[in-house]
Structure 1
């Protein structure tokens, strides 16, 4: 399972999915290029998320509070908490993402990558895709 999903300035490589873990976890490596950011801050109510820094430094905003994630550090995002990320550094940042239980899988990211590759993605389609997979876009601040 080494296919890379390119998501603009993000690259994801799934290591385990809900399908091969019986729904226990989804685990993927995510690389954020400089200036990469989460397209739409969101929350989810069906899984928790743990992020472990592997290389570089990314900035995570969790429940309105920003924290830098360096190699060897981790953040926990409880279900229902709005979050987003960015890479403000001049080099790539890589982290390991663990979703528990595993309910998302790579299909969401594949569909969003297709929408984003169209140049000017339709926000209505993006929101519909997010909601179909259990990601709830955060209301504008």
Structure 2
């Protein structure tokens, strides 16, 4: 069970962000779970819920004030998933903010990659499993 149930982000364009996150987080098993019509939202904007296993863990909505960029970190069970996220996110239009690799300043098995999304948010996928250490 995840400690975090879901995260919600105000974005400039919910459709653009949905396409980005759907592609970038596909290696983590994320897909579109639900879309809410603007007539049924608090902000009057489009709302998308994405997540793994049919549960919306990430909500994106527009027509609301976007704030300072946020940092979202997602866990991965294998380093290959970190690599796949980084490649998928770049192909989806994200900007490189740190290629996959060990971040020794955290610890010797902190394998992560970072991407800036279309709204300037810093996304991270990290594998911290010691058994994934190679060499």
Normalising by structure 2, what TM-score?
0.26
Normalising by structure 1, what TM-score?
0.26
Larger RCO (CA under 8 A, 6+ residues apart): 1
**1 or 2, which has the higher helix percentage?**
2
* Structure showing greater Rg: 2
**1 or 2, which has the higher strand percentage?**
1
